[in-house]
Every structure is written in structure tokens, then in C-alpha cells.
């Protein structure tokens, strides 16, 4: 059983070790159409539970082998907040991790549970998924376990946000013809404006999905990002399916584009041709455009 995986190097988190809280099989209260794991019956409680001691022993060993770890990412073949000893596990990790940062990737379904909130409060960064702000979409796309309601999830996120002062990142995965519709984006936009997360990552299917569903292109994701309020800190996280070539932007077009939605360097690499990048650099020198740091990314914004 591989409880610990990695390390993986990422520009955002540096050298990161992963902890899989469900290494034996998929244990999840969702059965998302886009899941990279095989379809599985949803569950409410873990059937296979590994002990905190087992995890800590494996982690201690990995930390001895892999020096200079920057982050520990808690995840699962399924949903990590279903692990019954999450809070206790974090207390034990705290004792051995030194200055290493902790991050959890959760589907957000259990965030209204105060015990789950208590465990998540112990992380340096919490990343929660929210693909849908309507129950109809949650049932269709995330195929959630019975009794899970989007209203509970939203209320839970709001109450958690009030007390959690570290970065809270929301991940929205968009699937073609399912949650890319105007009414679903509007519902998400309305809720996210109230939640005010540190960052919103918008992505699409990057790996072969459990069911027959389709990804969006980068350009389609960008069009969707423009439907959200301009004040929301949106980062387009998937750029594998780029269909168009980089384009030429005049100074005015660059400023207009940034007014509609701040861009990261990765967006600029996809959208701008070489001359447009040179124009952008001049606009930065002239202080008409500035870079604003937001939870691991620099976003270029118009300063006019
Ligand atoms: S929440 Fe994650 S693990 Fe669970 S079904 Fe969805 S994608 Fe798969």
C-alpha cells in the first residue's frame, strides 16, 4: 500500500509529498463523471481505514529519505475528509513536519460538519472543489451520495471562511454541456461573490474520465471566466487544449483585456504573440500595468 507518494515538484508548492488516506481503493461520497479513478458506489464512511500511526511511520520514513520538502498534500483515492481521524492525524503531522506547509484537497462535501471544519483549520492551505451551485448540477455531475445538498455545502463554506484566515482556494471543474451553461455559471458567480475565497481555479478534464464526458478548450474556459464578476480572483488552471494560435494585441486591447479579467503569465503565453508580450512589458515599465500577487500567482492587472 502506497500511503505516501511523490515527491513532486511544482512551481506553486515547491517539493511536495502526498499522503493518500485511502490507498487500498476508491472511497468517496461523490462519483464524479470526470473522476480519473474508475466509477465506484458512493459511500458515507470509510470501509478501509488506515491508522494514524501507520501514516506517521510512512511519512517519517519519507521525510528522512526526501530532504527539503516544502509541502505535505493530504489527499485520497476518494474524499480525504471521510477519513475518521483527520484532526488527530494533523496533530501528529504537526509534531514532525517542522516548517513544512500542509495542504488538503477536498471535494468540499463535508464542510458543514463542525468536526471537519475543526480538522481543516489545522492546514496552511485548504482547497475545496465546487463544481456546481445548484443541486440539479451536483447530482448530475458529481453524482453525490444521497443526503448531500448543495445548500449545506455552501453554508458550510461560508461559516468555514469566516474563521479560516489562511488561503482558501476553490476549484471549479467545468465539463462540456453540463456545468458550462449560463445559469450554472451565474449561480456559482453569485455564491463565490459572497464567499470571497483567496483564489478560484477554473479547470476542465485533464485525464481520461470515468464516464464519457468532454473537456473544454482553453478558449472556452477563458470565455467562461469572463462570465464571472471581474472582482473574483480567477485563475485558469487547464491549458492543455489550446485551439487558437497566440494573437496580436495593441496597447489598447491589452489594457481592455486586463480590465475584463487579470491574466497570469501562463495566460499571456497562450494568448499573446511575441510582439504583444513586448508591448505588455513596455506597459509594465510605464506602470500602466502591474503584477499583483495572489496566493502563489502573479496576476497582471491594469493600473489605469
Ligand atoms: S470527488 Fe474526487 S475522488 Fe471523488 S469521485 Fe469526484 S473526482 Fe473522484
CATH number for position 21: 3.20.20.70
Tell me, in angstroms, the distance from the centre of ligand 1 to residue 158's CA: 22
Contact 171 CB / ligand 1 (< 6 Å): no
204 and 240 part of one domain: yes
Atom 5 in ligand 1: residue holding the nearest Cα = 31
Contact 79 CB / ligand 1 (< 6 Å): yes
Burial 270-293 (b: 16+ CB within 10 A, else e): bbbeeebbebbeebeeeebbeeee
300 and 180 part of one domain: no
- The answer to whether residues 160 and 168 touch, using CB atoms and an 8 Å cutoff, is yes
Element (H, E) at 201: strand 199-203
Tell me, in angstroms, the distance from the centre of ligand 1 to residue 286's CA: 46
| CATH code at position 291 | 1.10.10
Q: Which atom of ligand 1 is nearest to the CA of 210?
A: 8
pLDDT digits (tens, 9 = 90+) for 42-76: 999 999 999 999 999 999 999 998 888 999 999 99
Tell which of 225, 244, 263 closes a domain.
Answer: 244
237 and 250 part of one domain: no
The boundaries of the domain holding residue 257 are 246-304
Q: Name the 3-class secondary structure at 126.
A: strand
Residue with cell 494573437: 247
- The answer to whether residues 288 and 276 touch, using CB atoms and an 8 Å cutoff, is no
Looking at residues 189-212, what average pLDDT do you find?
94
265 and 202 part of one domain: no
Tell me, in angstroms, the distance from the centre of ligand 1 to residue 183's CA: 24
Grade residue 11 by pLDDT with cuts at 50, 70 and 90. Answer: low
187 and 51 part of one domain: yes
Tell me, in angstroms, the distance from the centre of ligand 1 to residue 291's CA: 34
Looking at residues 251-264, what average pLDDT do you find?
89
Grade residue 276 by pLDDT with cuts at 50, 70 and 90. Answer: very high
Q: Is the pLDDT of residue 293 over 90?
A: no
162 and 98 part of one domain: yes
Tell which of 192, 211, 244 closes a domain.
Answer: 244
Atom 7 in ligand 1: residue holding the nearest Cα = 35
175 and 253 part of one domain: no
Tell which of 228, 244, 260 closes a domain.
Answer: 244
Total structural domains within the chain: 2
pLDDT of residue 294: 74
- The answer to whether residues 74 and 83 touch, using CB atoms and an 8 Å cutoff, is no
264 and 147 part of one domain: no
Contact 119 CB / ligand 1 (< 6 Å): no
- On whether the pTM is more than 0.85, the answer is yes
276 and 231 part of one domain: no
Looking at residues 250-254, what average pLDDT do you find?
93
Q: Is the pLDDT of residue 260 over 90?
A: no
225 and 270 part of one domain: no
Contact 32 CB / ligand 1 (< 6 Å): yes
Residue 173 dihedral angles phi and psi, to the nearest 5°: -100, 125
228 and 267 part of one domain: no
254 and 159 part of one domain: no
Amino acid at each position: 500500500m502506497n500511503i505516501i507518494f511523490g515527491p513532486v515538484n511544482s512551481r506553486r508548492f515547491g517539493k511536495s509529498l502526498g499522503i493518500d488516506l485511502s490507498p487500498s481503493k476508491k472511497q468517496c461520497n461523490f462519483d464524479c463523471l470526470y473522476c480519473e479513478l474508475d466509477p465506484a458506489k458512493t459511500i458515507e464512511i470509510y470501509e478501509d481505514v488506515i491508522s494514524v500511526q501507520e501514516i506517521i511511520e510512512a511519512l517519517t520514513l519519507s521525510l528522512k529519505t526526501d530532504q527539503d520538502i516544502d509541502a505535505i498534500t493530504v489527499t485520497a483515492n476518494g474524499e480525504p475528509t471521510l477519513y475518521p481521524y483527520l484532526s488527530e492525524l494533523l496533530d501528529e503531522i504537526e509534531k514532525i513536519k517542522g516548517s513544512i506547509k500542509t495542504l488538503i484537497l477536498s471535494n468540499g462535501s463535508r464542510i458543514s460538519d463542525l468536526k471537519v471544519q475543526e480538522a481543516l483549520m489545522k492546514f496552511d492551505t485548504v482547497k475545496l472543489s465546487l463544481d456546481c451551485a445548484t443541486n440539479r448540477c451536483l447530482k448530475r455531475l458529481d453524482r453525490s451520495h444521497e443526503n448531500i445538498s448543495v445548500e449545506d455545502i455552501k453554508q458550510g463554506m461560508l461559516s468555514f471562511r469566516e474563521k479560516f484566515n489562511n488561503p482558501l482556494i476553490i476549484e471549479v471543474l467545468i465539463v462540456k454541456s453540463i456545468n458550462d451553461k449560463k445559469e450554472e455559471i451565474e449561480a456559482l458567480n453569485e455564491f463565490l461573490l459572497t464567499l470571497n475565497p483567496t483564489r478560484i481555479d477554473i479547470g476542465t478534464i485533464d485525464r481520461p474520465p470515468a464516464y464519457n464526458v468532454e473537456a473544454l478548450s482553453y478558449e472556452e474556459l477563458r470565455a467562461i471566466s469572463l462570465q464571472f464578476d471581474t472582482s473574483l480572483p480567477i485563475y485558469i488552471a487547464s491549458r492543455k487544449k489550446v485551439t487558437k494560435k497566440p494573437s496580436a494585441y495593441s496597447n489598447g486591447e491589452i489594457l481592455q483585456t486586463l480590465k475584463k479579467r487579470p491574466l497570469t503569465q501562463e495566460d499571456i503565453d497562450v494568448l499573446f504573440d511575441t510582439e504583444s508580450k513586448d508591448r505588455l512589458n513596455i506597459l509594465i515599465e510605464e506602470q500602466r500595468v502591474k503584477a499583483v500577487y495572489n496566493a502563489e500567482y502573479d496576476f497582471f492587472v491594469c493600473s489605469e
